[in-house]
Structure 1
């Protein structure tokens, strides 16, 4: 059974599709002038060029096979014209504050500084009363109580320059008092740069030092014979602690005291900066007592100092005899140890490198140690120059 067909057949059983209707000649151009035509009214020149390029690529798809080859060939031709003998230098701008520029800054400020006619005496304000109307007064109250039996003897070697040695003496007094030990007069380590053979009594008044501390810390200038016989009368045979810098006072109590009770005498070398600043008030009190009361210069140094002070007062008549004393501490060892770079160029760097190796063999050349002078200066750890 066949479906009815209104179109007459010519003997074939398979129906034929209907014929497409004829279009008007004016509409036959529409297939070629669709919406992608580059000549469509309203299109810009850029749109037309893009359409032409896209149509060429779509009609000539084989060009995609040659595009990578063309690109690689072009790159090879370009690289062949580049000289590899010249390596471009990238200049990094130093971080603010990482370079020593004080001379340049001084040149900018010098005119204004010289033109300043202010008569105000800024130095005189230093001696005014402290914050909120307070007054300057000693913070050390002397003790007159008896001392308990000593736990043993402590012998320290104060290394470094004069400033480090003085700090070591104050720290030794504080540690000995805290551990209830007897302090042997500290020995000054012979400095490889200063080469000063002076002993404690050559710089400080030894008898006055012992007397000023008698109510707080026992101080002696000699170890009893019965103890020294155990070590063949040689202090280098005494057990030596090598303590890390800035150790806490609790470390001395937990680690050093047990050995002191066992041996009755211990040695600590080196001792510069071996006690933390963060210490209980009782420890700080002993530090201050040693620094401001017990340490007095020997007679020759004291006499010379009094002469210099009298001369300074005489020359400071305009300020009522008041003056400020400044120790620049800008010596070779100080600059070398800081690892800072100033304005001396390569010669300065070479000299400071030699000074570091001469004074602290291998300390600054250990594997893995990186020295960053710029970062040190940014952190404010460079010593001030005389100009600054």
Structure 2
């Protein structure tokens, strides 16, 4: 019989002999040691950051009444810009505008931010179609019923002069063209360059083209780089607010800074029209829910009439409630003393619903509490002008948080990126609803675990926070 037990050590020694020479030179040992050290350093660098962040966020226990406290640099610090910077200057191929004898008139539509985006689009379209742009008319017929003119909201002189090398802009049509036939156009949304270039055939039969809606959504349609840069110049440089709005907005920012040094601008979309439009009734009484349903039924241009509020909320299509915002901010680690400016219209339910937020963060203010009645008197009954004040305060805030991704939220976030990547936190509403529902069902207790779950949900949405 073959002694297998006796053969095993022999086989092992043979393998070792193949892998490692019996006599290792000093040079070989040194090379092995250097390679092993370098490999260890690589592993540490590659995994060290993730391990450190995970340990920071790891819950100490499944219970506890206090959320984790992050350092100020994480709560308030601006995100890394990775070398990105505004790119708005025209290229060397860009040519100055000419004095065209064909004109484009525009009727803007929507709220302040929808109109701002639409006007910047119309500047680009006028350039593409070789037209002289007449100062746009602002929306006076929408939900807000605002009678403000362009010069009431924007610095008209600055608008025309800052774009004089791009598009010829005039205050009004020449007298001889006021009553001539006009081509009425409702531009097809999401159209690109070729669409507008084809429309230049209108100049053969008309000297004036009237655009019935400015909401053409021109962005990201394979536009040439110079047209995209023109849109940015129009939106972030040319559309400056009127001196009266700009001056008061800056004063209110200074007053907020004097109170606490830094503040959060919270765009709390808990207004009656927003809740009615989205069909979101979570946390409301039956009477309030019915009031919203009737409002939606009676608003003709709102196409959706029957909405399942529960499904809307689960899908993440509802604005966060004041209570949910409070839980969210507390879970992130903001202390109760944090100064919060509410950039929004009248909160539905008033003090009763707002108490769900102020009970956690009592240092909550509105423009009406920061400005005097005399200062706001000139802006009363002008929704676009008061929205402009909220816009200025939101852009200048240390942290901007929208409870719903509407026009205002996207406009402010874009402007803040343009000005240097200022911190914006966009809640993951769909993911948060799952956490909130478990809390309501008694499956989760507010504290360290909830804080951990909220941070985990958002770690890839705003890495600068975590």
TM-score by length of 1: 0.58
Indicate yes or no: 2:146 matched with 1:196: yes
- The residue that corresponds to 1:342 in the other structure is 282
- What SS does structure 1 have at the residue aligned with 2:210? strand
Q: Which of 256, 261, 269 in structure 2 is aligned with 1:312?
A: 256
- The residue that corresponds to 2:454 in the other structure is none
Distance 1:154 1:291 in 2: 19
Q: Once the 2 structures are TM-superposed, how far is the Cα of residue 379 of structure 1 from its aligned partner?
A: 4.8
Q: Once the 2 structures are TM-superposed, how far is the Cα of residue 179 of structure 1 from its aligned partner?
A: 1.9
Per-residue deviation, residues 259-311 of structure 1 (Å, max 9, x unmatched)? 24431211122223543543423332122111110011111111111111112
Distance 2:127 2:115 in 1: 18
Q: Is contact 1:164-1:273 (8 Å) kept?
A: no
Q: Is contact 1:161-1:191 (8 Å) kept?
A: no
Q: Once the 2 structures are TM-superposed, how far is the Cα of residue 223 of structure 1 from its aligned partner?
A: 0.7
Per-residue deviation, residues 312-333 of structure 1 (Å, max 9, x unmatched)? 222343xxxx544332333223
Unaligned runs of 5+ in 2: 1-62, 326-466
Q: Is contact 1:336-1:352 (8 Å) kept?
A: yes
> Which one is further off, 178-187 or 273-282?
273-282
Aligned positions of 1:160-171 closer than 5 A: 160-171=110-121
Distance 2:278 2:243 in 1: 34
Distance 1:291 1:182 in 2: 18
Q: What stretches of structure 1 move > 4 A for 4+ residues in a row? A: 142-145, 370-379
Q: Once the 2 structures are TM-superposed, how far is the Cα of residue 187 of structure 1 from its aligned partner?
A: 0.8
Q: Once the 2 structures are TM-superposed, how far is the Cα of residue 220 of structure 1 from its aligned partner?
A: 1.1
TM-score by length of 2: 0.49
Q: Is contact 2:102-2:131 (8 Å) kept?
A: yes
**CA RMSD across the alignment:** 2.9
- The residue that corresponds to 1:383 in the other structure is 319
Indicate yes or no: 2:181 matched with 1:225: no
Q: Which of 74, 77, 98 in structure 2 is aligned with 1:125?
A: 77
Distance change in 2, residues 1:359/1:252 (3 Å): farther
Q: Once the 2 structures are TM-superposed, how far is the Cα of residue 182 of structure 1 from its aligned partner?
A: 1.4
Aligned positions of 1:1-388 closer than 5 A: 114-126=66-78, 128-131=79-82, 134=83, 137-141=85-89, 145-150=95-100, 152-231=102-181, 238-254=182-198, 256-280=199-223, 281-317=225-261, 322-344=262-284, 346-361=286-301, 363-364=303-304, 371=307, 373=309, 376-386=312-322, 387-388=324-325
Per-residue deviation, residues 334-383 of structure 1 (Å, max 9, x unmatched)? 33333444332543443333333444346335xxxx75555554554433
Distance change in 2, residues 1:325/1:142 (3 Å): farther
Q: Is contact 1:156-1:267 (8 Å) kept?
A: yes
Per-residue deviation, residues 79-117 of structure 1 (Å, max 9, x unmatched)? xxxxxxxxxxxxxxxxxxxxxxxxxxxxxxxx8574434
> Which one is further off, 322-331 or 259-268?
322-331
Distance 1:153 1:227 in 2: 9
Unaligned runs of 5+ in 1: 1-110, 232-237
Q: Is contact 2:110-2:139 (8 Å) kept?
A: yes
Larger Rg over CA atoms: 1
Distance 1:229 1:120 in 2: 62
